[in-house]
Amino acid sequence: MHNIQSISQDLIYVGASDRRTALFENIYPIPRGVSYNSYLLLDEKTALLDTADSAVSEQFFGNVKAALAGRRLDYLIVNHMEPDHGALIEPLLQRYPDTTVVCTAKAAQMVEQFFGLKPNTMIVKEGDTLELGRHTLAFAMAPMVHWPEVMVTYDTTDKVLFSADAFGTFGALSGNLYADEMNFEGEWLNDARRYFTNIVGKYGVQVQALLKKFSALDIKMICPLHGPVWRSNLEWFIAKHDVWSRYDPEDKAVVIIYGSIYGHTETAALRLGTLLSERGVKGIKAYDASRTHASKLVAECFRASHIVLASSTYNNGIFTPMENLLADLKAHCWQRRTVALIENGTWAATAAKLMRAELEQMKDITLLGDTLTLKSALRTEQEEQLATLADQIAETL
């Protein structure tokens, strides 16, 4: 059985969605699933743009067979070799042995590494083109967005960009293929942000270089490897990626993240939220670092301009979930934010000193106000100090 969708008279969606896998890359929770997108161009020559993850192999091969309708497959274009897109290269070539693989030199090396294969290969580099008949495909290199072998493919005829992992998002497709058929901002944007910041966020400089290349193209449609296809409002989605990859805050907003063992640090953090609300601050978000997956916390830290980190001291160090979050933020090159610190320690309050040392290793982090130090629990006489911190946060917003 197949489930294909026509994008145009000669471009067919042959990808599939996965709702069974719990963790993407065995790290990131995907409660809404994920799609593995693949596209088939039918011209005088046929070209398949990327394969899919082995989790959807049966659906994928059924789709490819139905879309080809007995025709041979002339080219497999490999934009990205990561196994969620490249796992089915070997079984595809077993089914269609006369296919030529079109990819970068590094991707060809990875094909051999993964499969021990040296198929008939066309190595392409920046600016190379491939004539299919009516369609001419042009290739642009996109190294470290987010693997070194990545390229993107641009159909110069129909102005379609096959963008590899760029402009992707978590979330399975439910029939609607296009972003404009969905409530994207309400239901998908959080997953798009979480996908970008955690998967690609470290490589902001490389993303900016790729966006500069895109700006020179007349793009009518974006076909990413995950999530919906974009045929309208492209500028809005591209602008989001521009902000994220420049590490600029997306929203003037406060996010409070606390690591609390017995609840006393949590009490102080949430009291600060109330005081901020009394000062007219809207859209405050508070998260328990022990209960919220780090990928969501990273995405929220990319979104908001002001972050409050409240941590208990644990074994004379930072409470482990908060320590892990700081390591994640540093690994993703998080920067250009305003941060306030709250610490707690019954017999040795060292969390703030250690958090500050981690933040000082990051770029353009402004530490706001004096650290609020709790000795076991928030005392009534510390309310004024907490109120001063709320004033400082509100004023800088």
Question: Cβ distance 341 to 374 under 8 Å?
Answer: no
pLDDT of amino acid 15: 98
d(CA 341, CA 368): 8
**According to CATH, where is 3.40.50.360 located in the chain?**
255-396
Task: Classify 5-246 by CATH class.
Answer: alpha beta
pTM: 0.95
CATH class of the structural domain 255-396: alpha beta
pLDDT 10s digits, 241-292: 999 999 999 999 999 999 999 999 999 999 999 999 999 999 999 999 999 9
Token duo for residue 219 = 């793009």
- Return residue ranges of the chain for CATH 3.60.15.10: 5-246
At residue 359, does pLDDT exceed 80? yes
Least confident of 3-17, 20-34, 240-254, 367-381: 367-381
pLDDT in tens, 160-202: 999 999 999 999 999 999 999 999 999 999 999 999 999 999 9
Tell me how far apart the alpha carbons of residues 345 and 352 are, in angstroms, rounded to a whole number. Answer: 10
> How many angstroms separate the CA atoms of 18 and 36, rounded?
8
HEC states along 26-74? CCEECCCCEEECCEEEECCCEEEECCCCHHHHHHHHHHHHHHHCCCCCC
Mean pLDDT to the nearest integer, 148-168 = 97
How many CB atoms within 10 Å of residue 248? Answer: 14
- Can you tell me which residue has the tokens 């895109």? 214
